[in-house]
Structure 1
Amino acid sequence: MELLDTLQSIEIDMGRRKVIDKGPRNIDLDILLYGHETVSNDRLIVPHKLMLEREFVLRPLCQLIPNEYHLTEGKGKTYFSHLQALPPSNPPPIAMIPMPAGLPPITPTKPSRNTLLMAVLNVTPDSFSDGGIHSSTDPTVLLETVKTYIDAGVSIIDVGGESTRPNAEPVTETEELSRVIPVIKLIRSLPEASKIAISIDTYRANVAEAAVNVGADIINDISAGLLDLEMLPTMARLQKTVMLSHTRGTPKTMNKLTHYPDGVLAGIQSELAERVQAAEQAGVRRWRIIADPGVGFAKTQDQNLTILRNLDQLRQAEQLEYMPWLVGVSRKGFVGRITGVKKADERTWGTAAAVTAAISGGADIVRVHDVKEMAQVTRMADAIFRPSL
């Protein structure tokens, strides 16, 4: 009963006043379960007697223990089975994914949400569109770029120290660290960047951890833990928001791995769901995971277009529902081939169309190079597809 007293004390301190039984309140703290114990008295019933009737209780509970059984029902139905048996909520519950640096949470089921801009900041000599522009040893251009990004309204700056474009040569871990760590420190030193999240674009666990230690907020792994078996346990231990992308093979082999027997959408659904499940089994909380369909990674041009036409279908896949989605189409090869623009840094118009399609399909975050221009594109697309209610 001491726990109950503590919870009720917190409710009082936060201003809870009971006006209507089962009505809305500014805070509600309940004890759903207490290990495998049952309690029944005039103040407390555990397990909570209404928990199996409430989607807003069962859905997050199923992210923790979906295959456990309710104590008073024996081994009849799991919590996940109870959740599936509930009628759909109208309106549906709003999922919330926490974001760092004072940013509001991502709400992927909220129709009027704003699309977040993720700015690409490559500190590489060989990235496909901006290699060699920024260097960790010469902060002048770097600072100018970062301040331009901030003025344009970005929410996330994605720092990468190794190109993962198709056929890219790998670099050593030491080289990658020498590129990204000074840049993250520099961004974090800027007062105007205090409310900007920094993501580290890496598939190496050691690089991810070193980046987090100097100020990175998000881990963006294009391989979803496939290229470094320590990545998922490291993500779990660091307890940061993570981005898991669908891909196959390595940058050297991905272009040969584009055969999807059941179609690219089914392939992404099943393979990305496997990576999400692996992350959860490693200890990464589902509400910390952002999914990425991996446009341009182990995909043909037609497959990339299929993703953009059917992103909403991916969002509604049972194994991936209620998750936010990151989509990166900026300056990619298929955009250049379709528009006839060979130089990657001149693909702004084609990128704008692809970004608009992604937002129409439900993207929560778009990863872009041309930040000023894409800020206008996202605002316009949001006004069309996500009007405020």
Structure 2
Amino acid sequence: MLQAAKDTCFSPRQTLRCPGGRVLDLRRPQVMGILNLTPDSFYAASRVGAVADQSDLLRRAEAMLTAGAAVLDLGGYSSRPGAEHISEAEEKQRLLPAVEAVRRAFPEAFLSVDTFRSGVAAAAVAAGADILNDISGGELDADMFATAGRLQVPYVLMHMRGTPQTMSTLTDYPDGLLLDLTRYFRDKLAALRAVGVADVVLDPGFGFAKTAAQNHELLGRLRELHLFGLPMLAGLSRKSMLYKPLGLTPEAGLPGTVAVNTMALLNGVSLLRVHDVSEAVQTIQLVTNTFSPSSS
């Protein structure tokens, strides 16, 4: 099993080649700031104002970039457990004007789009997006992998089962969670390579088709996924695995986020997807300054 996974690896690479010849360097961990263009994302403070008024969007984007975000992740479809399903047309209506506006205002920024639909992905890249962030790993749109290959943009490959509406019921892993993830990434990477996708980031999918206990197990075993030789993204920001055991709400989830992001960095994560950019940047600075070879 381990050898089969290694044989499917992409060449080790810690840089992402984006449109226009720009390169996102992940040799030092970076921050991806979340811009939710949805009315129902689980953390209310992350929801950007109406698309018709771009001032809130651009203010938040500027604040994140100024605070040190390397990537802005824009999404028009809420993926919280039990989220409302919306049409592709509505997702595009939310997402595309925002991508265009942020690209115009910040031409050098790296922009990611959080979508599982190939049609939305293609339209977003045409509007100025650089990276595709697919929560479904191609499971919810059979054309997504081929689209990513045709567009020649980096692809974030996340582990999930089912849909946002059903994933909470799909948490049984008879062979163990990490073995399931290894098989999943092995097979998906082979399929991506077959259609010409060169740059991939792995996302183990915290909170997606996993119980709280499984999420914590995964956090402690992230290094086991380094066998693929690819950068890894951790999306832990203010999630229920942090605040529910403490009887808190997402609004009180920042200290827990800092704690688990520190653990993720110590386990080799290259990209932190967060609501709170400044705190994540500080966390990276402290961890890398403390544990870099030059500090010993």
Question: CA 1:63–1:357 in 2, change beyond 3 Å: closer, same or farther?
Answer: closer
**Match of 2:25, SS?**
coil
2:103 partner amino acid: R
Pick from 26, 29, 33: which aligns with 1:115?
A: 29
**Match of 2:32, SS?**
strand
**Match of 2:138, SS?**
coil
Partner of 1:167: 82
Which piece of structure 1 moves more, 181-190 or 204-213? 181-190
What residue ranges of structure 1 are gaps of 5+ in the alignment? 1-60, 65-92, 107-112
Pick from 241, 255, 277: which aligns with 2:190?
A: 277
2:191 partner amino acid: A
Q: CA RMSD in A?
A: 2.0
> Aligned-pair distance for 1:133?
3.5
Partner of 1:185: 100
Pick from 137, 143, 156: which aligns with 2:52?
A: 137
CA distance in 2, matches of 1:162, 1:274: 26
Question: CA 1:204–1:115 in 2, change beyond 3 Å: closer, same or farther?
Answer: same
Pick from 248, 260, 267: which aligns with 1:341?
A: 248
Partner of 2:205: 294
Pick from 162, 165, 176: which aligns with 1:252?
A: 165
Quick one: percent identity of the two aligned structures?
37
Partner of 1:97: 15
**Match of 1:243, SS?**
strand
CA distance in 1, matches of 2:85, 2:294: 45
Task: Determine if contact 2:135/2:157 at 8 Å carries over to the other structure.
Answer: yes
> Aligned-pair distance for 1:376?
1.1
> Aligned-pair distance for 1:223?
0.5
Alignment of 1:233-382 (within 5 A): 233-285=146-198, 288-316=199-227, 321-342=228-249, 344-382=250-288
**Match of 1:189, SS?**
helix
1:371 partner amino acid: V
Pick from 16, 39, 63: which aligns with 1:148?
A: 63
CA distance in 2, matches of 1:277, 1:311: 21
Task: Determine if contact 2:99/2:124 at 8 Å carries over to the other structure.
Answer: yes
Task: Determine if contact 1:114/1:386 at 8 Å carries over to the other structure.
Answer: no
What residue ranges of structure 2 are gaps of 5+ in the alignment? 1-6
> Aligned-pair distance for 1:162?
0.4
1:228 partner amino acid: D
Task: Determine if contact 1:126/1:163 at 8 Å carries over to the other structure.
Answer: yes
Task: Determine if contact 1:330/1:367 at 8 Å carries over to the other structure.
Answer: yes
Question: CA 1:297–1:122 in 2, change beyond 3 Å: closer, same or farther?
Answer: same
Question: CA 1:171–1:387 in 2, change beyond 3 Å: closer, same or farther?
Answer: farther
Question: CA 1:283–1:148 in 2, change beyond 3 Å: closer, same or farther?
Answer: same
If asked which structure has higher relative contact order (CA below 8 Å, sep 6+), I would say: 2
CA distance in 2, matches of 1:383, 1:331: 25
1:385 partner amino acid: F
Tell me how many residue pairs correspond in the alignment: 286
- Tell me the TM-score normalized by structure 2: 0.91
